[in-house]
Chain A
Amino acid sequence: MQTLIQTFMERRGDLLTALWQHLGISIAALVIAMIIAIPLAIWAVRRPKMAEGLLQLTSVLQTIPSLALLGLLIPLVGIGTVPAVIALVIYALLPIFQNTYLGISEIDESIEEAADAFGMSRMRKLLKVEIPIALPQIISGIRTALVLIIGTATLAALIGAGGLGTFIMLGIDRNDTSLLLIGAISSALLAIVLSALVRWFQTAKPKQALTVFAVIVALLGGGGAYSVYANRTETITIAGKLGSEPEILINMYKDLIEANDTHVKVALKPNFGKTTFLFSALKHNQIDIYPEFTGSVLETLVKGNNPKSMTANETYQLAKQRLAKQDQLSLLKPMAYNNTYALAVTKKFKKDHQLSTISDLTQVESLLKPGMTLEFIDRDDGLKGLKKAYNLDVTAQSMEPALRYQAISQGRINLVDAYSTDSELRQYNLAILKDDKHFFPTYQGAPLMSTSFANKHPKVVKALNKLAGKISETDMQEMNYEVNVKNESAATVARNYLIKHGLLEGSN
């Protein structure tokens, strides 16, 4: 409980931003869904056959799993707020459409006849008679949609649209229950508060209700307009994958770029998503730069066979060359450390069974209970290839990255995949087994951007190149440890490193 309050106090600012983003996405989706569904339902009231078809269609749309829907939208509209809002609109259509349609079509026929007999125009009848009578039902549809939207909007974080989902994702990723709870509770509270507000609309006088609604939309619209206005100056957007390491790196990028060019502002989007989300975002110009690894480029982002046992430099050169050719992207010079895959066991397990290399594992094959990330299990340069190369016969249980460390410390598993710079290796007393057959490729981090961006921003390139060949594996492990375990902010850790190593003048 105390950690929860402490985390809450530390993250107040972030929470407010996330809450605002969440509210913005939700209300935008709700308003758009209303603008589509209500007129459509009114139109369909006189066309029962069409209405039946539309009801079917909206029901089918709602059965698409939200993750799949977000995935489907990425190739069409990229990532960020737009696909998130589209997905939410699609979910909100059914309750609003259905309730509006039923609310109006179930109005007593004699009332309709009376309205006609008094010479009301179609529009007047709609506004004065039909909508007021159907209003309670329409509003209850809007409430259902709203609660649905606020819950589903937590998934927006997966595609870089922000919101309270970032807390939940970060909580899972960092194995931080407080963060997770803050995200989940805020989202639930938001749903309850807004639902009550909508219920108030139902009983409020139409004029009051309309005024309040207009104020809310104006506030959100104004906030949006202000952020557009505030971002008028040249802004470079830098994103990072999930986790502390990318966040530290992008904070370094920001400091270096802004120190080198005062006319540029850097906006950071930490924990923006997984590899392919970021790559897609970069290609769609939704972000300008993100740190990528040479090994990941060759393995998942570009096509072509990879020669085995390449040196670090060969790996970089090949990755750079293929990115430039296939996607017109520039991979700048990499940093020193190699954040590669590794297999780790507890120090005790290592000692008990006298293990030192991955080859040694074949002798204790029957004792192994591996728990690994889905990504590692599925990659050719991960478990798949490893099993062949070392003639190892094991089946791994798939786990979220942060959960597997906990599992090994509790003894539920005894072999994990790891990144060589993970702070948890230190935290949980784990030891890395030596890759004696040099199976894992080199993963060196370097800034990735489009070639045209690089050409237009030579100052940025120059600033980022200051990091080339810097940061050792122990440096990185230490920095990760400071952020993940000691709860220091990535920005502080990044700045301290830059100042300590003379890359930035220690003024502020």
Chain B
Amino acid sequence: MTAAIEFKHVKKDFNGNNVIPDLNLTVQQGELFVLVGTSGSGKTTSLKMINRLEPLTSGEIRVNDQDATTVPVRDLRWDMGYVLQQIALFPTMTVAQNIAVIPEMKGTPKKEINQTIDELLDEVGLDPEVYRNRMPDELSGGEQQRIGILRAIASKPSIVLMDEPFSALDPLSRQQLQDLVLTLHQRYDNTIVFVTHDMSEALKLGDRIGVMRHGQLLQCDTPTAIAQHPINDFVRDFFGASRAKNVYDIYIGRVGLVQGYLKQKPAVADGRIQRLDAQATLRTSFEALTNHDYLAITDDKVVQGYLDRQTVMAYLSEHEND
């Protein structure tokens, strides 16, 4: 694997105050990397330094093995999608015109652009005939951010940056869009750097997660590793804080992450295994385990792993008093 983005001793001051003392981080090509942290942790600043919306005070950021400051800023940004928390669709442009912003600047033939627009709209479940010529203010928040994502990926950039893209959306839209990001990531095989303050979102999306606090990268690892071996109390608490108030409302997927799934598919008849979506709560799993011996935890119908009664009970006993 080669590095898509490398932070090397990156330092950032704002008006003489140091916000990022010394950041070192490598994001691999094709990776969905999530930067998570509380507000003021420096995660958004770090993201904006990648496409040079924020200049570095010192250090170096390498993009596709080139110092980002040596690449013409236009070329750098044209190959780097950007999705904003405020969505920020251009209000005077139609949906199609918004999506076409970068391809148009790149000089892509009009016919090709129009074809891409229709394909992309189809892909996110918006009928091109209906949506192509709508104005942004005629769309719901969730629909707007779908267009925001399409605008970022329309010219098939190798890297996409997402700055808390779903934090202003309702829970249902958020979940749908998270699934969409995973789908699109898989389809286009791009590198995504995703910033969020929501640990659940980080756990759901990230191939790897970087936890930031006060401009420092505390821990950078896979979701499972972070869940099972938090490096310090802050990471543990941050992880815990993103959990539901009541232990029985925990998502069953989290149990798998924390306790680890069974090593292999249990050698029992399929009738003894109950399929359960990762978003289902611990409470529903009790009923399933009353009649079945094992749970197959699925995410978007794909089995992530298997759990038995012992694993679920172990999680309960450990976390009941959190």
Contacts and interface: CB of A to CB of B under 8 A. Distances in A.
Interface of A: 108, 110-111, 113-121, 124, 128-129, 132-133, 135
B88 A114 contact: yes
Nearest to B78: A119
Interface stretch (B31-39, B69-77, B117-125, B288-296): B69-77
Given A111-B90, A113-B53, A133-B92, A121 B84 contact: no
A118 B102 contact: yes
B194 interface: no
A117 B74 contact: no
Contacts, number: 57
B101 interface: yes
Given A118-B77, A119-B102, A132 B92 contact: yes
Contact of A114 (B74, B76, B82): B82
Nearest to B101: A118
Given A114-B82, A124-B105, A119 B73 contact: yes
Contacts of B74: 119, 121
A113 B48 CA distance: 10
Contacts of B24: none
Contacts of B86: 108, 110
A483 B82 CA distance: 78
A118 B88 contact: no
Nearest to B79: A119
A135 B92 CA distance: 10
Nearest to B72: A119
Determine chain A's interface SS by DSSP, over half rule.
helix
Nearest to A206: B92
A158 to B, nearest CB: 44
B231 to A, nearest CB: 32
Contact of B90 (A117, A121, A129, A135): A129
A378 B256 CA distance: 103
A269 to B, nearest CB: 48
B92 A117 contact: no
A-B CB proximity, top 5 nearest: A119-B77, A110-B86, A132-B92, A117-B82, A110-B88
A114 B74 CA distance: 13
B84 A118 contact: no
B155 to A, nearest CB: 10
Contacts of B91: 111, 133
A135 B53 CA distance: 27
Interface in B77-107: 77-78, 82, 84-93, 101-102, 105
Contacts of A110: 84-88
B53 A119 contact: no
B51 interface: yes
Interface in B130-154: 151
Contacts of A121: 74
18 contacts: A108-B88, A110-B88, A111-B91, A114-B90, A115-B90, A116-B77, A117-B51, A117-B82, A118-B78, A119-B73, A119-B75, A119-B76, A120-B101, A128-B90, A129-B90, A132-B90, A132-B93, A133-B91
Contacts of A119: 73-78, 102, 105
Given A114-B82, A119-B105, A124-B105, 9 more contacts: A111-B88, A111-B91, A114-B84, A117-B53, A117-B77, A117-B82, A117-B161, A119-B73, A132-B90
Contacts of A117: 51, 53, 77, 82, 84, 161
Nearest to A129: B90
Nearest to A121: B74
Contact of A113 (B78, B84, B102): B84
